[in-house]
Amino acid sequence: MPVPDPAHLLEQAEGLAAAPAEGQPRDADLRRTISTAYYAIFHAILTAAADLFVGAAKQTTSLYGLAYRSVNHQKVREVCREVAKPIPSDRYKPYVLADATVLLQAKRYEADYNPLFAATRTDVDILLKQARKALDDLQSATEEQRSLFLGLLLFEPRANP
């Protein structure tokens, strides 16, 4: 089974958000746009982590699947909240990715589960731009920054005794 392509997920999200020939996008389409934008980031993170620690050439192996599936939404949220905190050094960049991931995950939860949530086209457009910036941030981070960030997702740090 191929790994989901984050760019394709964002294209799908943008298509859902596009206004039909007449009228406004449906609420269901705006909600799915938010959810799909979050999943584009989530799968980009999982792919980057598995590629780094197992190897992109091994995407069809059990080990790759294990690394890919070892990270859950809660862990992503926890690590991103830590990375997004202001610190004097940039050792845990990418900040844009972390901020956008936390925001989009919260919005995805609202869009998927809160019947009172009302998405607007303007809000959705802003979230889509943030998702694109987050993917760019993941790609433009230095190898060390990316490795540190992804390593925090896969490996639990332990305090020194």
pLDDT in tens, the chain (161 residues): 577 899 999 999 999 998 777 888 899 999 999 999 999 999 999 999 999 999 999 999 999 999 999 999 999 999 888 888 776 555 556 778 888 999 999 999 999 999 999 999 999 999 999 999 999 989 988 888 889 889 888 888 777 66
For residue 89, what pLDDT is reported?
A: 58
For residue 110, what pLDDT is reported?
A: 96
CB count, 10 Å around CB of 121?
15
**Distances in Å between the alpha carbon of 41 and those of 7, 17, 37, 86?**
9, 17, 7, 21
Residue 94: is the preceding peptide bond cis (ω within 30°)? Answer: yes
Contact residues for 51 (Cβ-Cβ < 8 A; gap 6+): 59
For residue 22, what pLDDT is reported?
A: 82
Q: Which helix (H) or strand (E) holds 43?
A: helix 27-53
Calpha distance 118→128 (Å, rounded): 16
For residue 95, what pLDDT is reported?
A: 75
- pTM of the full structure: 0.88
For residue 126, what pLDDT is reported?
A: 95
How many Å separate Cα 48 from the centre of its chain? 11
Query: Residue 64 in contact with residue 50, Cβ under 8 Å?
Result: yes
> What CATH number was assigned to the domain covering residues 6-154?
1.20.120
Query: Residue 94 in contact with residue 149, Cβ under 8 Å?
Result: yes
Calpha distance 139→98 (Å, rounded): 13
